[in-house]
Amino acid sequence: MEKLDTRLIKNFEERNLSKHSLGWISDYRSTAINLVKEMGMPKLSDEDWRFTSLKDFSLKDFSPIFSSKSNFKKPSLPDYIDKIDGYFIYIHNGNLVSGTEYPFIVEPLEASFEYPEVKKVLLDDTLSKNKDFFYELGSAFIENGLYLKINKSQKIDKPIIIINSFDSELDNKFLNTRNIFFFGESSSAEIIEYSLSDSQNEYFLNKTTTVNIESNSNVEHLLVEAGNKNSYIFSNLKIIQSRDSNFTTNSILTGGLLIRNNVHPMLNGEGANSNILGLYLSTEEQLMDNYMFVEHLKANCESRQLYKGLLNDSSKGVFHGRILVHEEAQQTNAYQTNRNLLLSDDAQVDTKPQLEIYADDVKCSHGATIGQIDKEALLYLRARGISKDKAMLMLIKAFTDEVCEPIKNQTLLDAFHNIVNNWFEKSKLTN
């Protein structure tokens, strides 16, 4: 039986995707598929994949889906998302389906290829670093997704909420999506990306979001992956920051049988600031692999990574955090922390913090911890009349709450707390 990557390469060639009316898209796809061929499916021998085996995944029989034929029905959303006063954008099986007017630009990605901003983002030299098989696969099959642009000096007054819904049409399918967010100079916005599925069958989702933040802009971003627990999700979030820009992203991972969550901020302008936050909440047989690669390319920038894992049953977590400080990036401040709480004797975590520094005037630190519920703290609370279940929940919530501290927008903070509380209830952690 042919492996999945071999079959996808054949599909690319059969569909002649290297041919496009825009020559640069043809070149872009061709370059990417050649890299896919060259790299092959990641193996345990690859340093960035040493804790996650894709052997079983590589034998799956996923066939590509390019154009959804199912009729869109507004998905049933939890009240804490549905009731938000914001600008809702709906994407169903990778296709932009909402037709509401917005005070910003939103278009299907394929319709935006002629825009200079889209070409600028896709061909940015900084994106050529840190080659990744699934990112290149996404570039080869680039078609579905959206382009969102906030104009220069524009301040969006309400959160932008992007709902990614999936249905049974995706069963045993491979879906590739690419979103591009472009924030003009001195603009600001808050974005919530929320993914859900009404199917419990297997599918393979390969998604990339590229965020371009021009100088003096401020962006807060909350990513929630709440799809079904039988899906395979490979996510790349790439951020290119210019001078004096501020970006905060917080990822909450609850869905997926296997999730690979790549986050790659590139601080490419002096004075840029980046907060990379995340919470992976896994149960049963889930595997959540988080790979952070923070690049400091210019001087006087600051980054903070804080990722926490809460793991129950036989689930597994991975955190590989890498900070790369280039020679030009003097006076860098970069901090990286990974903390994990195991709620079961069968749960496990592999963590690998990493610093790579080529500048001599920097402040950088990293640390990682793995532990269980503090028995002394639990005893302290119980001695004050608090039940064991409630005391455990108090300690667990205190553990998770630190992740959202850098978030300034109250709507995003409320969404964070509601999503985590909902996971607590569904997981029945204290039963």
Tell me: the pLDDT tens digits for 70-100? Answer: 678 889 999 999 999 999 999 999 999 976 7
Q: What would the pLDDT profile of 187-222 be if each residue is shown by its tens digit? A: 999 999 999 998 888 999 999 999 999 999 999 999
- pLDDT band at 227, cuts 50/70/90? confident
Note whether 390 and 384 are within 8 A (CB). Answer: no
What is the model's pTM?
0.94
Going by C-alpha positions, the residue among 208, 153, 148, 156 that lies closest to residue 181 is 148
Calpha distance 59→46 (Å, rounded) = 19
pLDDT of residue 389 exceeding 90, the answer is no
Across residues 152-170, what is the average pLDDT? 95
Across residues 410-416, what is the average pLDDT? 90
pLDDT of residue 67 exceeding 80, the answer is no
- pLDDT band at 5, cuts 50/70/90? very high
Identify the residue with better confidence: 59 or 67: 59
Interhelix angle 410-427/388-401, rounded to 10 degrees, is 140
- pLDDT band at 171, cuts 50/70/90? very high
Q: What would the pLDDT profile of 213-226 be if each residue is shown by its tens digit? A: 999 999 999 999 98
DSSP state for residue 16 in the 8-state scheme: T
- pLDDT band at 426, cuts 50/70/90? confident
Note whether 231 and 200 are within 8 A (CB). Answer: no
Q: Would you list the DSSP string of 254-274?
A: ---SEEEEEEEEEE-STT-EE
In sequence order, what are the beta bridge partners of 293? 322
Predicted confidence at residue 22, as pLDDT, reads: 95
Predicted confidence at residue 87, as pLDDT, reads: 96
Predicted confidence at residue 244, as pLDDT, reads: 98
Task: Give the range among 4-18, 122-136, 157-171, 238-252 with minimum mean pLDDT.
Answer: 122-136
Q: Could you give the percent of the chain with pLDDT greater than 70?
A: 98
Q: Give alpha helix (H) positions in 123-265.
A: 133-140
pLDDT of residue 115 exceeding 60, the answer is yes
Calpha distance 413→222 (Å, rounded) = 9
Q: What would the pLDDT profile of 365-386 be if each residue is shown by its tens digit? A: 998 898 887 777 778 787 777 8
Predicted confidence at residue 379, as pLDDT, reads: 80
Q: What would the pLDDT profile of 293-332 be if each residue is shown by its tens digit? A: 999 999 999 999 999 999 999 999 999 999 999 999 999 9
pLDDT of residue 125 exceeding 90, the answer is no
